[in-house]
């Protein structure tokens, strides 16, 4: 399966934002979000909207260095939101981001947190999947069904695998259990009948840095689930199926998931 195109990702930002708005239609925005402790639905929407505006600023200004993301993290003041206000504001931010990405094109040079991926294409992908996962959070809080196209879930999993090769995800340090070592391999298998079923990933932790591939070789631990459930699992979200079927070294799987999710806790 090939990665989603730049134009498809731009379109998905709008699609996923629209679906997010639909999930909260008629819901009380004061409802807590179980998968984002300390946030309610209104705060979640503000976080996503500020994330879109943060990425848009980076791309529009062609920033060569990090831009403060304090605003998207500081949402304590948004506890009493009105959906008729925050909904259109959320849509406006997504539209601004998509237009800025279009004007910049996929190849412009901009800052990103991942070396070697310094382009608007990174931000199109990152904001698509940021919105997808927070849409799952909103669906959970509002008590509505969450579904995502299989090819979108597969691309989001590809992105997650790439995050696992940055030093913060595997380098040793105080309070960080060693991740790399002999015999440490993981496999993920997408099941079901929808688009994306049959996709697979293998993570090799036996070298100096983690390496992921589409190889079908045996692994010390195997996790199998639908593409959507695999995506929610690696993000630490509840899944409709109760989590993947795991065979082998479950402790290694949990360690890898914790280490590769370092950026979720920053």
Domain presence at residue 1: no
Same domain for 122 and 32:
yes
Averaged pLDDT for residues 16-34: 97
Same domain for 131 and 10:
yes
State the pLDDT at residue 107: 93
Last residue of a domain, one of 121, 146, 171: 146
Domain presence at residue 169: yes
Identify any residues that bridge with 224 across adjacent strands, giving them in sequence order.
189, 245
pLDDT class of 2 with cuts at 50, 70, 90? low
Last residue of a domain, one of 95, 119, 146: 146
pLDDT digits (tens, 9 = 90+) for 166-181: 888 888 877 778 899 9
Percent of the chain past pLDDT 90, that is, above it, reads: 83
166 vs 65, higher pLDDT? 65
d(CA 218, CA 43): 43
State the pLDDT at residue 266: 54
> Do residues 29 and 81 touch, judged by C-beta distance below 8 A?
yes
pLDDT digits (tens, 9 = 90+) for 103-154: 999 999 999 998 889 999 999 999 999 999 999 999 999 999 999 999 999 9
State the pLDDT at residue 265: 65
Same domain for 116 and 32:
yes
- Give the number of domains in the chain: 2
Q: What is the CATH number of the domain that holds 99?
A: 1.20.120.450
State the pLDDT at residue 172: 83
State the pLDDT at residue 177: 82
Same domain for 186 and 115:
no
How far lies 105's CA from each of 10, 63, 98, 179, 242, in Å? Answer: 11, 15, 10, 37, 40
Same domain for 157 and 57:
no
Domain presence at residue 14: yes
> Do residues 131 and 20 touch, judged by C-beta distance below 8 A?
yes
Same domain for 34 and 162:
no
Same domain for 32 and 95:
yes
Provide the domain limits for residue 11: 6-146
Same domain for 175 and 109:
no
Q: Phi first, then psi: give them for residue 45, nearest 5 degrees.
A: -60, -40
Averaged pLDDT for residues 75-87: 95
State the pLDDT at residue 241: 78
Question: Of 158, 97, 85, 172, whose CA–CA distance to 127 is shortest?
Answer: 97
Last residue of a domain, one of 146, 170, 199: 146
Q: What is the CATH number of the domain that holds 216?
A: 3.30.1050.10
Three-class SS state of 185: strand
Same domain for 167 and 140:
no
CB burial class (10 A; 0-12, 13-18, 19+) of residue 235? buried
Same domain for 67 and 17:
yes
Same domain for 256 and 210:
yes
């Amino acid at each position: 399966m090939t990665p989603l195109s730049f134009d498809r990702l731009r379109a998905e930002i709008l699609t996923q934002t629209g679906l997010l708005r639909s999930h909260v239609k008629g819901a009380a925005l004061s409802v807590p979000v179980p998968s984002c402790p300390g946030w309610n639905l209104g705060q979640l929407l503000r976080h996503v909207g500020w994330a879109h505006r943060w990425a848009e600023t980076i791309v529009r200004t062609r920033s060569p260095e990090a831009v403060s993301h304090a605003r998207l993290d500081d949402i304590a003041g948004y506890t009493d939101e009105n959906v008729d206000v925050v909904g259109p504001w959320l849509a406006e931010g997504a539209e601004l981001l998509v237009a800025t990405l279009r004007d910049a094109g996929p190849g412009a040079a901009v800052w990103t947190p991942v070396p070697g991926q310094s382009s608007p294409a990174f931000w199109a992908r990152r904001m698509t999947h940021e919105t997808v996962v927070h849409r799952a959070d909103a669906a959970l809080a509002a008590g509505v069904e969450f579904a995502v196209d299989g090819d979108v879930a597969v691309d989001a999993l590809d992105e997650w695998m790439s995050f696992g090769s940055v030093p913060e995800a595997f380098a040793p340090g105080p309070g960080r259990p060693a991740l790399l070592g002999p015999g440490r391999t993981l496999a993920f298998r997408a099941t079901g009948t929808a688009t994306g079923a049959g996709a697979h990933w293998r993570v090799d932790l036996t070298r100096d840095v983690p390496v992921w591939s589409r190889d079908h070789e045996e692994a010390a631990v195997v996790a199998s689930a639908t593409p959507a459930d695999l995506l929610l699992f690696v993000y630490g979200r509840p899944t409709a199926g109760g989590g993947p079927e795991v065979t082998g070294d479950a402790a290694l799987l949990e360690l890898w998931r914790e280490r590769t999710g370092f950026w979720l806790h920053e």
